[in-house]
């Protein structure tokens, strides 16, 4: 009977050790997945920031170009109107 309880105890200890090992492996896997996901999110965020900055800069340069053209057209129209009034 003592041998059976000792065998029982050994089996339970082995099962507990296996469960702890599996838990540790699973925790390591989950941590690796979390780090990979965070890395991908960081890369996506950086890429989106760069794209947004590029779009803003392009919009600003287009806006400045549009302002210059508009000013030029306005000046041409004013000059044309002044010439017509002088006649």
For 25-39, how does the pLDDT look when each residue is reduced to its tens digit (9 = 90+)? 999 999 999 999 999
Residue range 2-30: average pLDDT?
89
Give residue-wise pLDDT tens across range 51-69: 999 999 888 888 877 788 8
Which pLDDT value is given to residue 2?
78
- In angstroms, the CA 71 to CA 82 distance is 16
pTM of the model: 0.51
Q: Please give the residue range of the domain that contains residue 81.
A: 1-87
- To the nearest whole number, what is the mean pLDDT of the chain? 89
**Interior CA angle at 39 toward 33 and 43, to 5°?**
145
Alpha carbon distance 87, 25 (integer Å) = 93
- Listing DSSP states for 28-60 in one string gives HHHHHHHHHHHHHHHHHHHHHHHHHHHHHHHHH
Report the number of distinct structural domains present in the chain.
Answer: 1
């Amino acid at each position: 009977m003592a041998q059976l309880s000792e065998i029982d105890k050994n089996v339970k200890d082995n099962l507990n050790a296996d469960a702890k090992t599996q838990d540790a492996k699973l925790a390591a896997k989950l941590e690796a997945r979390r780090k990979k996901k965070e890395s991908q999110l960081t890369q996506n965020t950086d890429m989106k920031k760069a794209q947004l900055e590029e779009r803003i800069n392009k919009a600003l340069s287009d806006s400045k170009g549009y302002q210059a053209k508009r000013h030029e057209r306005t000046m041409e129209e004013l000059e044309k109107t002044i010439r017509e009034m002088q006649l």
